[in-house]
Structure 1
Amino acid sequence: MKVQTGTRLDQAWTFVTNDKPDNWGQLQGVIFWILLATWTYSNIIVRSWRHVRAKGIVGTFRGMYKAVEGFAIKLILSLPSSKRKLNQEMGDLRTKFRKSIDPAHYPNGVKLRSGRELPKHGRSLEWLQEEWRGLKGIEKTDVDEGKVSGTVYHGGEDVNQVISEAMSQFLLANPLHSSVFPAIRKMESEIVSMCLSLFNHPDGAGTTTSGGTESILMAVKTYRDWAKATKGITHPEMIVPESAHAAFWKAAHYLGIKIHSIPVNKKSRKADVAWMGRAINPNTIMIVGSAPNFPDGAIDPIPALARLAKRHNIGLHVDSCLGSFIMPFLDRAGFGEEVEPFDFRNEGVTSMSCDIHKYAFCPKGASVIMYRSAELRRYQYFIMADWAGGLYPSPSMAGSRPGMILAGAWAVMNYIGTDGYTESCRQIVSAARHLKSAIQTRFASDLYVLGDPLASVVAFGSHKLSIYALADMMTERGWHLNALANPPAVHMAFTLPTSKTVDRLLDDLEYCVAQLKKEPKGSSGDMVALYGIGQTSVGPHVVEELAKTYIDVLYE
């Protein structure tokens, strides 16, 4: 291309073709500083400001202190002398864990044969039946005795019989292949519809999942993809109360989302709506509320959170996995007068999760994730249109799924019905409120209730006694309570079996409190050891390694 000299075009041409290196170098420098300033503003200044706004000045400095402290502790633990000591202690704990699951330590002298390799010849049914009897014999806890917090959501032997018969009819069913198993498709869609109706949005949409964690993972994935498609957000963030379930942190870790954890109101234990509102920024994709939360059973102010989400056009996920078939039946059971609307009656609620394998008494591995619209649900799907194996559509995390679980769930929900769930809600919540009232009166000088629990979970702590020592003493008497942190406490999640044993729980609690007041150091059990370490500076780092070691041992 020939360019006439002396023209503006000629001047521009010589500039960009580097005929004037000084000008080009100056332009490169200007571009570099502009890009650096833009990057600094967007990635450091703006993000730092948003972080300070979400955490507050005190919270920000506390986080910085913890980060520096954590770095120093890791540095100390990496020193050869510290490493040797830590490895020795972990080795001792590994040995202790092994002993706890070693056949020589099974209760009742039960002997089991090792089966670490596939047998050359198949075992007989009689051999299997003998092993089953032995395997049942090593269980250390009688779940029917009613001494376990949560964990065992037992609807009764008649319900178990219904589950067993329903599952036996659909052992080979797989919802991935709906054209092959249309009965499972029908049952699954009806399970979702029943839950949507219970949570006051029959025109909504949803899917089943394998449990609360998957339901939460799916909700977070949905909001991430929705925000990217509709708002162009590529650095997503979500805001949760610190009382939210750990599955939200797990989802953030898996899905590459920044999570802002906001302290709850210390007295009510509910989400601090104003603080959560301050944390919202242009990258926020969702906020979270619980009905109720797992640690202390508080029900977050869902109407206020819904208004906040609607005003900012972001998602609000209400985690009612633990609320399950308790929350929707509180009104019918006569306990609804103190509970604000917690479900889709609030326009700003855009999704909810409910574990039907909890208080709906369905077989384990059954939860429902619900959305306000089918359009929003579409962002949950995974679709691969050009796979060599053909079109691959999947509604949730799993590909193949056990259809027999869905068959069992569908059968139980139809078997129990509204009247049955209303009565179970009445029994369970009555027991929880009995415990709450007794702690506030009978144990008022020694224990206190966290917040104002209104459903099935009651948490309590103590300003005078070691609550973990108390829990260890209760463990010695056959009770299995859940340990909590921040503040130190324990909780009882009532189920149908435990609803019948609340008076025994209170009697044993009275005995243990009295003993602990006589001998303040009267327990050195596992809970004291584990959570005592957790309260120290080095605690989180050691406890994390301890947890990894424990999981390793489970698979040895």
Structure 2
Amino acid sequence: MDCLSLLEHVIVTLFLAVLISIYMNKGREEFFRILLLGLKSLPGMQGLISRVLKGEVTNFVKQVNLDETTKGGKRPPRVVIPKKGIPYDELREAMAKFKAAETNHVEGKIFAYTYTLFDEHFQLQKDCFKIFGEKAGYSENHDALVSLFHQAFLHENALNPMIYPSLRRFETEVVSMAAAMLNGNENATGFLTSGGTESVLMAVKTYRDRARKLFPHIKEPNIVAPITIHPVMEKAAHYFGLKVYHAPVGPDFRVDVQAMEKLITPNTILLASSAPQFCHGIVDPIDKVSELAVRRGLPLHIDACFGGFMLPWVEKLGYSVPDWDFRVPGVTSISADIHKYGYVVKGASVVMYRNEELRKHQIFTYAEWPGGLYGSPSMAGTRPGGNIAASWAAMRALGEEGYMSKAKELMEATIKLKDGIRKIPALEIIGEPCMTCFAAQSTDPEVDILAVSDVMETKGYKMEKQQKPSSLHFSILPHHVPFVEPLLQDLAKSCDEVKANKTLAKKGSAAMYGMVATIPDKAIINDFIVEFFSEVYKCN
């Protein structure tokens, strides 16, 4: 017997001795726990355990009638956004069929999840979710259909996928449609969330937990992202104990990829970029960031919460859109809001992953609760059924043709606005935005753009103010289409008013942002923001 074999023999003997001692002194449960831990450490054993678990789950899913495989053992084809929108009556019939197949909580056969008063109180809540008033009624249009689905599933809860199977179907089909729209292959998957914030939070949590499993030596994980990434990335890092290192943008307001690489450390667990970044509507150079991610062996999350349901259609219309989705090899996840350009009620978003193995890190589990086995795929436990059903209805009703038509209409309005703003002597468009949003800044030192914002608000507008550089953000939405010319006229007049009255730059938001810029300690500004929210949400 050689030295290596002798060593293996000694280790196995000692391990068995320890197991016998544990069994004798601590009982059967601890014995099997230690035995399982020991077996899991053996080469190839983890894969075997995973296969056994997957088999058990597959059998359980069949037993509870959640399995969707065909008799031939094949999964049904991926659901995609239909080319043409499905007629509203057909969708209503489908909704009625799904509802009829479920256990009706009204019959007293469900003991959790749904808390409903079936009286005027319930009707009052339904009225709050109606898009149109009682006198208008429901007409044959998209908003009415979405509202109908939302109300039909208003009190249903997607916390447990076995209670309301229709919600599970809606969610898996919405995720499937989104995956196809974002050019994911058959392996791409994800979950619905309550909005972009939760989608990004879930992505960061996923990569943190992935790093804990694969790289346990990393104790202070960090994310490298552009300075223009949405603040929710900082929020997620704050919540989950990470740091964000921000890379600057270049003159084109796209992230400097070389600067990103310099920020990468041995503790970096994730790269992130935007498609587009909200500030200026500009897509980061995702192809270059992807090359960096692949070269450094790092995952890459794309925050497309704002543009995920617009950029695909803008590209199909023939506009120039850089590659940014799952076609780019280094992209491992994408967040995209359905409640923005997906045209559904708030709040609904998707977080998509390139494959199931990545997505598994998002799921939270707890097996020790006396109330039963607990698992949750998102931050929220209770997940409103109305939003999930409405998302399914919105995407099926519009179809590709509907989305293309809306994108065409909004892009034409956006181009008119940008062209009109370029004709205003004091203003210019920042960078080269490629979808239905942009930012404008002043080129005239006598025209403070934030003072222009204040004047616009006296005309009834609610403007989006930005800093570094000072600018105004414009997201072009369906309700802007009829008002392009009045908006341009009011903007030009506001610039003239500011130029003619220099004191306007020393008042209102212009003065506040000017003051903020002079304070070197941003902790003071953070304290100011805390005081602001504390004050405006007072209960008395």
Distance in 1 separating the partners of 2:121 and 2:464:
38
Q: Contact 2:199–2:349 (CA<8 Å) still a contact in 1?
A: yes
The CA deviation at 1:438 is 2.4
Counterpart of 1:448 in structure 2 is 428
Q: Of 479, 482, 491, which residue of structure 2 is paired with 1:497?
A: 479
Aligned counterparts, 1:4-23, within 5 A: none
Distance in 2 separating the partners of 1:217 and 1:128:
33
Q: Of 230, 239, 261, which residue of structure 1 is paired with 2:224?
A: 239
* Cα distance per residue 1:316-361 (max 9 Å; x no partner): 00111000321111122231xx221110001100000000000011
* Cα distance per residue 1:279-301 (max 9 Å; x no partner): 11211111111110011111101
Counterpart of 1:554 in structure 2 is 537
Counterpart of 1:163 in structure 2 is 146
The answer on 1:288 being equivalent to 2:268 is no
Q: Contact 2:348–2:391 (CA<8 Å) still a contact in 1?
A: yes
Q: Contact 2:448–2:505 (CA<8 Å) still a contact in 1?
A: no
Counterpart of 2:298 in structure 1 is 314
2:311 partner letter = M
The CA deviation at 1:470 is 0.3
Q: Would the alpha carbon gap of residues 127 and 387 (structure 1) be closer, same or farther in structure 2, given more than 3 Å must change?
A: closer
Counterpart of 2:46 in structure 1 is none
Q: Contact 1:435–1:458 (CA<8 Å) still a contact in 2?
A: no
Distance in 1 separating the partners of 2:233 and 2:262:
20
Q: Contact 1:262–1:275 (CA<8 Å) still a contact in 2?
A: yes
Aligned counterparts, 1:24-103, within 5 A: none
Counterpart of 2:170 in structure 1 is 187
The answer on 1:416 being equivalent to 2:372 is no
Q: Would the alpha carbon gap of residues 334 and 178 (structure 1) be closer, same or farther in structure 2, given more than 3 Å must change?
A: same
Distance in 2 separating the partners of 1:126 and 1:196:
36
Distance in 1 separating the partners of 2:221 and 2:466:
30
The CA deviation at 1:433 is 2.1
Q: Contact 1:533–1:543 (CA<8 Å) still a contact in 2?
A: no
Counterpart of 1:109 in structure 2 is none
Distance in 1 separating the partners of 2:122 and 2:505:
45
Q: Of 181, 188, 201, which residue of structure 2 is paired with 1:217?
A: 201
The CA deviation at 1:390 is 1.5
* Cα distance per residue 1:141-191 (max 9 Å; x no partner): xxxxxxxxxxxxxxx992221122112221221111211100000000000
Counterpart of 2:245 in structure 1 is 260
Q: Would the alpha carbon gap of residues 390 and 124 (structure 1) be closer, same or farther in structure 2, given more than 3 Å must change?
A: closer
Counterpart of 1:98 in structure 2 is none
Q: Would the alpha carbon gap of residues 284 and 514 (structure 1) be closer, same or farther in structure 2, given more than 3 Å must change?
A: same
Distance in 1 separating the partners of 2:506 and 2:223:
40
Give the structure-1-normalised TM-score: 0.70
Aligned counterparts, 1:137-536, within 5 A: 158-203=141-186, 204-232=188-216, 233-265=218-250, 267-335=251-319, 338-440=320-422, 442-443=423-424, 445-463=425-443, 464=445, 465-522=447-504, 526-536=508-518
Distance in 2 separating the partners of 1:526 and 1:216:
33
The CA deviation at 1:272 is 0.7
The CA deviation at 1:457 is 1.2
Counterpart of 1:42 in structure 2 is none
Q: Would the alpha carbon gap of residues 373 and 517 (structure 1) be closer, same or farther in structure 2, given more than 3 Å must change?
A: same
1:301 partner letter = P
Counterpart of 2:99 in structure 1 is none
Counterpart of 1:114 in structure 2 is none
The CA deviation at 1:525 is 5.3
Give the structure-2-normalised TM-score: 0.72
Note the residue ranges of structure 2 that are not aligned, 5 or more in a row: 1-117, 134-138
* Cα distance per residue 1:453-474 (max 9 Å; x no partner): 1111110111422111000001
Distance in 2 separating the partners of 1:524 and 1:414:
51
* Cα distance per residue 1:84-142 (max 9 Å; x no partner): xxxxxxxxxxxxxxxxxxxxxxxxxxxxxxxxxxxxxx99779979x98xxx99xxxxx
- What secondary structure is seen at the aligned counterpart in 1 of 2:141? helix
Q: Would the alpha carbon gap of residues 226 and 124 (structure 1) be closer, same or farther in structure 2, given more than 3 Å must change?
A: closer
Structure 1, 516-525 or 350-359: larger mean CA deviation? 516-525
* Cα distance per residue 1:225-245 (max 9 Å; x no partner): 112211222221110100000
Note the residue ranges of structure 1 that are not aligned, 5 or more in a row: 1-121, 138-155
What's the % identity of the aligned pairs?
Answer: 37
Distance in 2 separating the partners of 1:276 and 1:353:
21
- What secondary structure is seen at the aligned counterpart in 2 of 1:388? coil
Distance in 2 separating the partners of 1:452 and 1:174:
43
Distance in 2 separating the partners of 1:500 and 1:313:
48
Q: Contact 2:451–2:508 (CA<8 Å) still a contact in 1?
A: no
Distance in 1 separating the partners of 2:123 and 2:150:
24
Counterpart of 2:111 in structure 1 is none
